[in-house]
Amino acid sequence: MADVSKLVEARYLTALGEPDARAAVTFLGTERIEVLRFVDGDIARYATLGMSVAPMADPTGALADPDRGPRAELVLSVRLAGAETDKVLRPLAVLAASPQVEGVVVAPGASLDVGEPLWPGAPFTSVLVAEPGGLVEDLELDAPLEPVRFLPLLPMTPNEAAWKRVHGASALEERWLSHGTDLRDPHRGSVDLTD
């Protein structure tokens, strides 16, 4: 069987170029999670590596299938604008380990909360998982393995996260779009949530 991590890293190199930094975090009882940083102009992209080694399993299922189940990696894009965004490495690794640690299935439309700022001084403590397929294409694996999906993460302020819980992910994304919100701005405030 193919080494999923090596295939994922090769896909990143094709889509994003060479990483200029990487860090690894290991949580008790989990696979090692790496976070790679790719810089493109004034944008830093932080991408997880290792989350897709095992498929995500439904926590209500009786037995986890070692082959079948969705696989994903996480990608966060942030503008380099004087914020300490490199400190997002550990929170990102925590989110990437959540399927192994908590039995969470990470899918588009989900909210993931780290319970603290994503980096020092960040106005965000959570992210919205967006649809894959834009920046990094899905990675097909040999059957019966499901493809690896590269899920973009969109930082949310606490007010946006609360509003999303009531109105849904698509409504929040539509609000961001209609207000021209720069979701890569590490200093941005909440979008206008008044009707």
Decide: helix, strand or coil at residue 32. Answer: coil
Q: Which helix (H) or strand (E) holds 189?
A: none
- pLDDT, residue 64, reads 63
- pLDDT, residue 172, reads 96
- pLDDT, residue 163, reads 95
pLDDT tens digits for range 15-26:
999 999 998 888
Decide: helix, strand or coil at residue 193. Answer: coil
Residue 134 has pLDDT above 90, yes or no: no
98 backbone dihedrals φ, ψ, rounded to 5°: -60, -35
- pLDDT, residue 83, reads 85
Domain locations in the chain?
Answer: 4-178
pLDDT tens digits for range 56-107:
886 666 566 667 889 999 999 999 988 898 999 989 999 999 888 888 889 9
Identify the residue whose tokens are 């942030």.
78
User: Is 118:88 a contact under the CB 8 Å cutoff?
Assistant: yes
- pLDDT, residue 59, reads 62
- pLDDT, residue 188, reads 94
Cα–Cα dist 180/175, whole Å: 9
Cα–Cα dist 122/116, whole Å: 9
Average pLDDT over residues 151-175: 96
Task: Tell me the residue type at 39.
Answer: V
Q: How far apart are the first and last CA of the chain?
A: 52
Tokens of 12: 């990143």
pTM assigned to the model: 0.92
Cα–Cα dist 155/73, whole Å: 16
Residues 6 or more apart from 43 whose CB is under 8 A from it? 77, 78, 79, 80, 184
Nearest 10 degrees: CA dihedral of 178, 172, 157, 35?
A: -100
- pLDDT, residue 1, reads 42
Task: Tell me the residue type at 75.
Answer: V
